[in-house]
Structure 1
Amino acid sequence: MFASHDQLCSIGELAEHAGVTVKTVRFYSENGLLPEARRSTGGHRRYGPDALDRLRLIRSLRALDLPVREVRRVLQQEEDDRAADAGSALEDAVAGQLRTLGAQITALRWQEAGLQLVQDCPPGERADRLRLIGAMSTPPTTDALVRFWRGWLPARMPARAAHAFLEVAVPQPPDAPTPAQALAFAHLHALVSRPCPGTTQPQPAAHRAAGAHGSALLYSGLAEAYELAGTQMLRGRDPHRGDALDSFVDAYVGAYGGRDTPEFRTVLHQQLATDPRIDQYWDLVSQLVTPAGATPEPTPGSAHDWLCAALLTT
């Protein structure tokens, strides 16, 4: 490959064959990625015939923006043909880089949606919108939403039951948000980040009294009732008595004991009517998860309102 009698080449010749600068070859050599075969009598680097292929591999890996430390791992494993997991270093490096790029692309999409929101709003509203968007990280996290619900849920609620509820109640930010979705999530973040009136976050009285075991039964039953109510809502049905309402009432009966009677339902409605309302939260969740032009999907909040209204039906 090389014209010299010993089949070695200088750093300049190697750079020329590879189409890179001498500075690039020197950088890879000094970082241990491209070992030299030996030094000339004048102290200059000399490279063997395999150096060109190795240099091209390094360039390919670096073109994928793999860090030098990952390139070194791949090269080290390439040298060990006996490795039982040959190729895994490259696979791991590529997978890691894909995750990094995915996160960067998601962040850029959120930045784009935020810029679009600022550009499209009236000049007098831009300062407020900037503050609203600037309060979130890019891309945003659900940490503030989870903290909000941790304060709302009954104390000492079993971890499994709390996790199941949070899976439903906390929407994940989309990877490619529309401006409308970005605005909805920004409002949602602002809503749950505001200081609560008084010293503690209000909790529904109907939930506080259930205790740890009762709260698990309550929220499990409510999840089933909300799903049944959601089916009725998608069919356009007005609040009415039936399986969804029975399941809703049974959730409270199971948590507190007693029997499902007209008197129990009356007291339950009165108690739920005076509980703290978070309708705005569920309205924003609906805006966030519903595609443009589609019929809003039922949320636990809208299903709860439907069921509370059903308590008044005869």
Structure 2
Amino acid sequence: MPTSTESVSKLYGRIADLENQRLAEHPMEREITLRAIRKELGPIPGKRIADIGGGPGKIAFALADDGYDVDLVDLSPDLIQLAQAEQDERKSAGVKPLLRSIAVGNALDKSGLAEGLYDAVLLLGPLYHLLEEPERASAVTNALHLAKPNGGLVFVAFISIDAHLRDVAMRNPGKVVDLKEFYTKYLIDGRYEKSEPGLGQTVQSFHTRPDDIRAFFASNFADSLELLELRSTEGILGGGLDATLAKSSDEVVQVWVDLMFDGFSTKEQHLGCADHLLATLRRK
């Protein structure tokens, strides 16, 4: 069954405030993601970035503050409303730079952005919720078309199956017994499609593994995209182990980011520690 984008949009409407705070509460994901993007793009003001599925714009605004020219698109009107509120607040306070544009849009459709224009295209959320491989391939294809030919970058984030199992073990370990049939299938295909009473709706999510990410790009994009690296955006601090850092000074956070980014986040033996895996690709 294909993904219900209406259901995904409704989910983020319900958790909009939590999503707006999530990266503040998990600084390692935020900072390693930003550093990975900056490493490849270089410190060149004016480079164009399309952030597709960027939610309330926390990554987009941080990159705009670096001097990049950023367009933000998200499926959820509620998250886009939060991004627009921050944009308006910045305008009122005279804070610049601002995002170039903010709009509701779907990674599975043409976003309305100009093709072949962007130095980097970010898909840091959409593939979390696309249940079918052709849908995931379609989202990446649309991002590929936005990226500049011969060197435009595409950043694609995934959720790790290992992360979900850790979460279950910490919160409700009996779940894998009570839902044995569900989890037997889940561990094969990564589809988490289940009614969640606490949210009042069905959650549609896709989780995966490093080797499956590599296989996905090799089978669908071997002629058009080069996979540069696969990186854990938490280093070895997945499972919420970075939460205390949210209360630490910027100096302490950056020391830990240095440690995780350089020493742990791309090492194969540590990728299983991730909550999120970030693939960096270059358009051929």
Instruction: Decide which structure has greater helix share.
Output: 1
Structure number, greater radius of gyration: 1
TM-score range, shorter chain: under 0.3
Instruction: Decide which structure has greater strand share.
Output: 2
Q: Which has the higher contact order (CA 8 A, sep 6+)?
A: 2
